Structure 1
Amino acid sequence: MKHAIVKVHPKDNVIVALRKLDKGEKFTYGNEEFVLEETIPAKHKFTVNEMQVGESVYMYGVLVGKVKKHIPKAARISTENLQHASEAFSLDKRNLAWHQPDVSKWKDKTFMGYQRADGSVGTANYWVIVPLVFCENRNVEVLRDSLVEKLGYGRKNRYNNFAEEIIASFKAGKNVADVKLDTIAATATYERLFKNVDGIKFLLHDGGCGGTRQDAEALCGLLAGYITHPNVAGATVLSLGCQHSQFSILTEQIKKRDVSFSKPLYLIEQQKIGLEKDVMEEAIRKTFEGLIEANNCVRTPQPINKLTIGLECGGSDGFSGISANPTLGYVSDMLVALGGTVILSEFPELCGVEQELSDRCVDENVAKRFIELMTSYNKRAVEAGSGFDMNPSPGNIRDGLITDAIKSAGAAKKGGSSPVTDVLDYPEKVTRPGLNLLCTPGNDVESTTAEVGSGANIVLFTTGLGTPTGNPVAPVIKVSSNTELYNRMNDIIDLNTGTIIDGEETIEQAADRMLDYVLKVAGGETTVAAVRNGQDDFILWKRGVSL
């Protein structure tokens, strides 16, 4: 049965509305009775007690704000009466106890993946075409126009046909309003020439030159992460020749990630070759040769511990930290218990839970690195006139995430309860199984791009408001925090955890359902919405302040 309200943690002094609550409604929670002072929208919170200016507000058991205007008992917290606040943190003793779920029924489960020479396993098999500098983006786009449709990777969709019908109606002097999309045929697919290659992906970006040399180094590291990624069979790389990001930096970064790198890799430099037609001829021929080799890869049964899952959120709402994110957290713990790897990123959205996470680090060196990265990142944000407290978006605030600490405490639930085995700076590669923390912005596309660059072969992505975010080479499984969103936007969302809010499912049951879905996606049995829709988002982080 669906409840109307929930108190997330015994220490909390706010209660969450699971539906719209009207002014004057009466509720009993524990031994306390509440008569609402005002209407409380679903996902928002009301106070347990009357609160004076300067008092602390707790949610998820942590400090999430300070009262800046008197709040009566059973009144809504908002940006008008609450400001961001979070606890200080420091290096403390280790706390490695965790709730290890029973995963006995999953131990012998497998998925059909692509075994790579370095021992990693892909959940897909792509070829990537990469510009080393933005000057080569046009040449990459020419390659896309030349290869994609001809090789059977085009996407002829109903919108093309709809536009053609609109044009035909206009030319015939008819009313274009009479042409309806619902009457147009659904998406058509082309026949692939290479059956075992899932596609050619193009990693367009605006970097490589004009920034700092550190930016070029980070770009080459990120691109090396994609070239060595288990979901990638090989790469064609285009360089102008004079930019900061050189082939030498890229190959060095590749060797750092895979010392015995043996995938087909074609490096093409325009200033060295000369004429554009010669560059294109070389690029098309070499890419075709690489695709022939990539097509020899086939799926074979692989154990669950070969999965590396990125944990991501975007367009979060007041239910994200109650339904979707804790479900990801439980899946995270299940995967860790099975010997797999998970990546939790978005450092601005770990504000307020630093102490818990640093205490969970397996040793002091790992904890120190986490604290140093969090401290320096926030310092850079403040120096730029911002700060973690400015992280929540208008959509977050509208749907109940009033302060960054509230947003962060809910977002951190994606990381479950297992020990933190490693802390990585962008764009380092994951090398240790277990829970890894990766320093990235809270921006969901930058963060997803980084998680995949660090080795995630699948991304679990929660949303409360709806976002189409995808990735060029890794399936991004979109998870809604509430049923209304899933019903409204299920063309871009794959799974619904609003069932938890609706009282139909427990977090554990939703996690079981989610892990089963993950294995189907990993094995190529199920195609996620972002892949069906061709949502290939790729944004690099230039290490300036991006929240």
Structure 2
Amino acid sequence: MKNKVLKVHPSDDAIVALTDLKKGERIEFEGQVYLLKNDVPVKHKFAGKTYQVGDPVIMYGILVGKATQVIEKGDCLTINNVKHAAAEFTGKTEQVSWQTPDISRFQGRTFQGYHRPDGKVGTANYWLMVPMVFCENRNLNFIKEALLKELGYAKGAKYQQHSRKLVEMYQSGKSTDEILAEELLVEEESDMAQRIFPNVDGIKFLNHEGGCGGTREDSDTLCSLLAGYITHPNVAGVTVLSLGCQHAQVDILKKEIEKRDPDFSKPIYIFEQQEIGSEEKLVTEAIKKTFVGLIQANEIIRQPAPLNKLTIGLECGGSDGFSGISANPALGYVSDLLSTLGGTVILSEFPELCGVEQELINRCTSEALANKFRSIQGAYAAKAEAVGSGFDMNPSPGNIKDGLITDAIKSAGAAKKGGTSPVTDVLDYTEPATQPGLSLLCTPGNDVESTTGLAGSWANLILFTTGLGTPTGNPVTPVIKVASNTRLAERMPDIIDVSTGSIITGEETIQEMGERLLEYCIKVASGEISTKAMQLGQDDFIPWKRGVSL
């Protein structure tokens, strides 16, 4: 490691510890000498100057907090001496110029994708099973049980042998101490049949708890979200189960599909239980029609597509003090590369843009987009404050423990995923991303609600950074998990695809890592690499009910 500390921006007065630092340690950095007043854990920050009460704390070149007491130069910054503070934002105040990155390495490159009639290209080929209301989850589960194993999509019972072994020990008279001392090894049982439809990557089931009983806004939003999944480039066709009397009516779903694709031509089979009658008849007919649909979906094969057909969603979860220094800026470079190539990038999680709003407003390509972002962000913040839960309450205990002591620090680092390119579109939740370049999508900071929204807005890949380790995936969009530090990648290799820890140690630059990540994306998009989330079958799907979720 070249240095023990880092100043992210030249104007910063909060200094980042790249390793554990001890009280009394003398740090020499960029012509300054810092005598540490107390221990500073790795990823945390210490004062680069003496703060008086109320003084601003600057990191990433912006306001990220204010001192609540006198903090001496060399003191560790904590939740006990710093409180959240963020700059106010207005309309566009300047026109931001942009230095495009060198894309020569990627010009003319292609990926192997699934071409759809509407011109979009998928990175996967899934059949979708959609309930209009939670009442149909049971029937959906019957269909899942009937199809997956027989068609070769079921995974082995990974932990079932544990129970079998424990039962055998109990029945043979082993003591509780002997049972607890037994080493149980995980050996995934191979009960998978040969895949009947090799060109269909899977059958995905969007079980959820909505569709009725809540507000009409929530049921309408659910229909809009489901339409986003049905028209998604990674989806070949869909089976829809409806009860009949729920708020989330099939007619609403059809209108939302038509809004996104007026010439919609994918196979879609809709079954309404109250019209069909018995559960057995519904499930049997749904299985037969789905099987026929799978035959059609299997006829689609991967073909070359230009990189501008990629739409990459950007997400972070379980962030740490390195996320905004390594993993997120690396994604930012991917974002700039793809934007320059004519592709689409989606930056989500509006609560984690707190404090960087003015920069994003100034990057908007029009006043209309700037005003739309201001309106959505302002309304979201006001709704949170109205119930006593402002954006300042966004950092989780894990975030705080690993150095993200204010929401503005977390947000400034999270926003690095969006790079430096112009903002070409601003989307409210469930609106599809259709413009090349960087789009801002309103979602909560909640990992699964946000990734669910990214896929609903047509992201055909998701880059997901984490510093603490987050086991999250999506039913239709491959999620590439990117670690901010090497220790995490080594500790949780079953969920991490790529580590950016080499940026922290100085072995790679942000630009080099960004290029490596885009190469990885091309391989995943072409079906050459199955992400860890896909291997684990992590099909997380949680629609956002438009209440306060941070």
TM-score by length of 2: 0.98
**Residue 231 of structure 1 pairs with residue 239 of structure 2:** no
Give the aligned length: 547
Q: Work out whether residues 96 and 418 of structure 1, in 8 Å CA contact, stay in contact via their aligned partners in 2.
A: no
The CA deviation at 1:31 is: 2.2
Matched to 1:374, the amino acid is: Q
- Matches of 1:525 and 1:132, distance apart in 2: 34
Query: Paired residue for 1:21?
Result: 21
Matched to 2:161, the amino acid is: N
Query: Paired residue for 2:355?
Result: 352
Q: Any idea what the Cα deviations from partners look like across 1:469-491, whole Å, max 9, x if unmatched?
A: 10001110000001111100011
**Residue 497 of structure 1 pairs with residue 500 of structure 2:** yes
Query: Paired residue for 1:40?
Result: 40
TM-score by length of 1: 0.98
Q: After superposition, where does 1:264-275 map in structure 2 within 5 Å?
A: 264-275=267-278
- Matches of 1:94 and 1:342, distance apart in 2: 23
The CA deviation at 1:188 is: 6.0
| Aligned-partner SS, 2:149 | coil
The CA deviation at 1:283 is: 0.9
Q: Work out whether residues 440 and 446 of structure 1, in 8 Å CA contact, stay in contact via their aligned partners in 2.
A: yes
**Residue 204 of structure 1 pairs with residue 207 of structure 2:** yes
Query: Paired residue for 2:217?
Result: 214
5+ residue gaps, structure 2 = none
Matched to 1:56, the amino acid is: P
Q: Work out whether residues 155 and 190 of structure 1, in 8 Å CA contact, stay in contact via their aligned partners in 2.
A: no
Query: Paired residue for 1:321?
Result: 324
Query: Paired residue for 1:107?
Result: 107
Q: Work out whether residues 107 and 338 of structure 1, in 8 Å CA contact, stay in contact via their aligned partners in 2.
A: yes
**Residue 63 of structure 1 pairs with residue 63 of structure 2:** yes
Q: After superposition, where does 1:271-420 map in structure 2 within 5 Å?
A: 271-420=274-423
Q: Work out whether residues 321 and 413 of structure 1, in 8 Å CA contact, stay in contact via their aligned partners in 2.
A: yes
Q: Work out whether residues 21 and 41 of structure 1, in 8 Å CA contact, stay in contact via their aligned partners in 2.
A: yes
- Matches of 1:187 and 1:23, distance apart in 2: 54
The CA deviation at 1:177 is: 4.3
Matched to 1:226, the amino acid is: Y
Q: After superposition, where does 1:455-470 map in structure 2 within 5 Å?
A: 455-470=458-473
The CA deviation at 1:339 is: 0.6
Query: Paired residue for 2:253?
Result: 250
The CA deviation at 1:214 is: 1.3
The CA deviation at 1:13 is: 0.7
Query: Paired residue for 1:74?
Result: 74
- Matches of 1:517 and 1:45, distance apart in 2: 32
Q: Work out whether residues 156 and 188 of structure 2, in 8 Å CA contact, stay in contact via their aligned partners in 1.
A: no
- Matches of 2:150 and 2:96, distance apart in 1: 54
- Matches of 1:335 and 1:498, distance apart in 2: 23
2:486 is matched with which residue: 480, 483, 486?
A: 483
**Residue 91 of structure 1 pairs with residue 91 of structure 2:** yes
Matched to 1:227, the amino acid is: I
5+ residue gaps, structure 1 = none
Q: Work out whether residues 336 and 421 of structure 2, in 8 Å CA contact, stay in contact via their aligned partners in 1.
A: yes
The CA deviation at 1:217 is: 1.1
- Matches of 2:488 and 2:364, distance apart in 1: 35
2:452 is matched with which residue: 449, 453, 460?
A: 449
The CA deviation at 1:178 is: 5.9
Q: Work out whether residues 17 and 44 of structure 1, in 8 Å CA contact, stay in contact via their aligned partners in 2.
A: yes
- Matches of 1:185 and 1:243, distance apart in 2: 40
Q: Work out whether residues 423 and 437 of structure 1, in 8 Å CA contact, stay in contact via their aligned partners in 2.
A: yes
The CA deviation at 1:161 is: 2.8
| Aligned-partner SS, 1:266 | strand
Q: Any idea what the Cα deviations from partners look like across 1:436-484, whole Å, max 9, x if unmatched?
A: 0000101011000000000000000000000101000111000000111
- Matches of 2:385 and 2:257, distance apart in 1: 34
- Matches of 2:229 and 2:187, distance apart in 1: 37
- Matches of 1:157 and 1:474, distance apart in 2: 24
- Matches of 1:207 and 1:21, distance apart in 2: 49
Matched to 2:390, the amino acid is: G
| Aligned-partner SS, 1:459 | strand
Matched to 1:76, the amino acid is: C
| Aligned-partner SS, 1:352 | coil
Query: Paired residue for 2:8?
Result: 8
Matched to 1:322, the amino acid is: I
Query: Paired residue for 1:539?
Result: 542
Matched to 1:368, the amino acid is: N
Q: Work out whether residues 330 and 511 of structure 1, in 8 Å CA contact, stay in contact via their aligned partners in 2.
A: yes
The CA deviation at 1:179 is: 4.6
Percent identity, aligned pairs only? 60
Moved more, 207-216 or 472-481: 207-216
Q: Work out whether residues 158 and 186 of structure 2, in 8 Å CA contact, stay in contact via their aligned partners in 1.
A: no
The CA deviation at 1:172 is: 3.2
The CA deviation at 1:189 is: 4.0
- Matches of 1:327 and 1:61, distance apart in 2: 18
